[in-house]
Amino acid sequence: MSIHLSIVIPVYNEEESVEKLVQNIISAGEQFDFTYELILIDDGSQDSTWKIIEGLKETIPQLKGIKFRRNYGQTNAMVAGFDHSSGEIIVTLDGDLQNDPADIPILLKKMEEGYDIVSGWRKYRKDHFSRVLPSKVANALISASTGVRLHDYGCSLKAYRAECIKSIKAYGDMHRFFPALASMTGARVTEVPVNHFPRKFGVSKYGFDRIFKVFSDIFSINLIIRFSSTPLKGFSICAIPFIFLTIIFGILGCSAIFFNWTAGKSIFFIFSAALSLMAVMHLIMLGILGELIVGTSDLSHTYMPEITKKKIMVGGKTC
């Protein structure tokens, strides 16, 4: 029997919430008129999370468990869940009970309109202000720089068509950028407001150090999205500030000679030469190497074929 829906959830030290989480999903699944599977990925938990998952597997046939030997991060956990999923549609959510499994039919219903990815929007988020404000800034920057405008990239509650999400080669902390990355292949992306609950158990796995990581990820993801097939153009743009500074220091060096300045002649030319080497020899040469790699691979021909969307039933309604 084919499986229509795979629910993929990474968990890490969630011994207090994992059993309640599964119960909530089973309750939400009672309104499904299709087969589904639940995949829990234990991302190297150091508590009894995996022991609880093993116990639940004995009584819940649709539950699968994957255990990592150590903590690899949320992106790797999600990718492992994708690789082991069998559903035509994949839904992800957090394991801390802040997402509502009852919102899954809302995401699936939105897909009926022809979307390939439907992202949850925690419109009334129940987190501390110190987490909400940086998140809003990051969401605005990601939306503006990638062109895929979403209010809440950080919401883990998302629905994907398996054909478009499984083709993405993700690493690091790219899970929050899945909608933007999928848009490269022509995936249609939208969002819907979803419920959000205060955290009841444990502590958040993220701190202020995450802010700097997000900014570096934004830079990386823009290089991938905008210049994956034209790396020379991307690296050339990055070289422009260094070329500009090279010209300035070159002018200062020539001025020092013309006006017979006693100091500064050598230092100006040293800076000019160093910046020139950085711009031309490093960045532009990296761009040329990137062009050679792209030219000998099929990266520039990546696309997502039109998907024949089979209809499924959600609460008695066709999707």
Question: Per residue in 187-233, pLDDT tens?
Answer: 999 999 999 998 876 665 554 555 666 666 776 776 666 666 666 66
* Residue 222 pLDDT: 67
User: What CA–CA distances, in Å, run from 14 to 41, 83, 114, 151, 176?
Assistant: 11, 23, 35, 27, 21
- Span 5-227 CATH architecture: Alpha-Beta Complex (3.90)
Q: Is 59 helix (H, G, I), strand (E, B) or coil?
A: coil
H or E element in which residue 306 lies: none
- Pair of tokens at residue 92: 């992800």
* Residue 293 pLDDT: 65
Nearest to 257 by CA among 269, 247, 272: 269
> Whole-model pTM?
0.73
d(CA 212, CA 170): 19
Q: Which residues contact 28 (CB under 8 A, 6 or more apart)?
A: 101, 102, 104, 105
Which residue carries 């083709």 as its tokens? Answer: 167
Regions of the chain short of the pLDDT cut 70:
1-2, 201-216, 219, 222-235, 262-265, 278-319
* Residue 314 pLDDT: 39
Domain ranges of the chain: 5-227, 231-296
Given a contact cutoff of 8 angstroms between Cβ atoms, the answer to whether 135 and 173 are in contact is no
Q: φ, ψ for residue 138 (rounded to 5)?
A: -65, -40
* Residue 143 pLDDT: 87
Which residue carries 């020139």 as its tokens? Answer: 276
| DSSP letter assigned to residue 298 | S
Q: Indicate the Cα dihedral angle 59, 94, 226, 188, nearest 10°.
A: 70
* Residue 247 pLDDT: 82
* Residue 246 pLDDT: 78
| DSSP letter assigned to residue 186 | T
